[in-house]
Amino acid sequence: MLLLCAGALCSGSLAAPPFLSAGASVPDGLGVNIHFTDSRAGEMEMIAAAGMRWIRMDFGWEATEREKGRYDFTAYERLLTALDRFGMRAIFILDYGNRLYEKERSVRTEEGRQAYARWAAAAVAHFAHRGVLWELWNEPNGGFWAPKANVEEYAAMALAATHAIHEAEPEEAIIGPATSLIDLPFVEACGKAGLFNLWAAISVHPYRQEGPETVVEEYQKLRRLATRYTKPGRTMPIISGEWGYSSGWKNFDAAKQGKMLPARMADQHRE
């Protein structure tokens, strides 16, 4: 589940961020993560019928640049066409390494950074004015940045890509860093690098086994942090890009999941 929000704490009244329509309300920010570009029969219909307005999906670098400098975005054309039919929008995650440039699932070299930036700018330009939010990586503070998380490497990559995207399409919206949990030190390092004044929103994944109301204090800290590193007068939107309760977690069963999920949905309508 994902939620786009822009209130003072990611709760309370919801002012519409620039990437949402004027007068947007909480349901306009509801979405779901998917793992396909071509849906099976009935899948899109079910997502739309559930009230989802957004999908979040990997936009794989290695899958779309198989030869250096040659990009193939046709799979994502099909996905966006399908979304258009149901009035849904996309968060595309510009993610993971490309063995043409990097040995591991990360972007650590100057050659890799420049290649990632060129590819990202090409992708955004290809789908410009389609209402996409472009997210720079997924959980770079965890296992998706090899061999281990490194915020300096991530920030260098994000800055290169953000500048390249803005040069190609200055009106397109970029978000990040999509941290696993609300990792305040990692997010703060991104703010210190100057990314908050270049991005349209901050994205986080506030997973927890406790009740959803426990996120409020963390959102308060994140809001204060965001304010510290953004220009005066600007309210930085916060996106909960992933959040759910899994019956597969240790010490967490289906009965507890059944209690937490409705509470999470009720809490979303209060945020």
Give the tens place of pLDDT for each residue, 156-211.
Answer: 999 999 999 999 999 999 999 999 999 999 999 999 999 999 999 999 999 998 88
For residue 98, what are the CA distances in angstroms to 103, 105, 187? 8, 7, 25
Residue 201's nearest CA partner among 3, 37, 11 is 3
DSSP state of 60: E
Separation of alpha carbons 44 and 48, rounded Å: 6
Report pLDDT digits (tens) over 235-259. 889 999 999 888 788 888 888 888 8
Beta strand 238-240 pairing with 2-5: antiparallel
Residue carrying the six token digits 């993560």:
33
- CATH for 2-268? 3.20.20.80
Residue 261's φ and ψ, nearest 5 degrees, are: -65, -45
Residue type at position 252: F
* Better-predicted residue by pLDDT, 121 or 269: 121
For the entire predicted model, the pTM comes to: 0.91
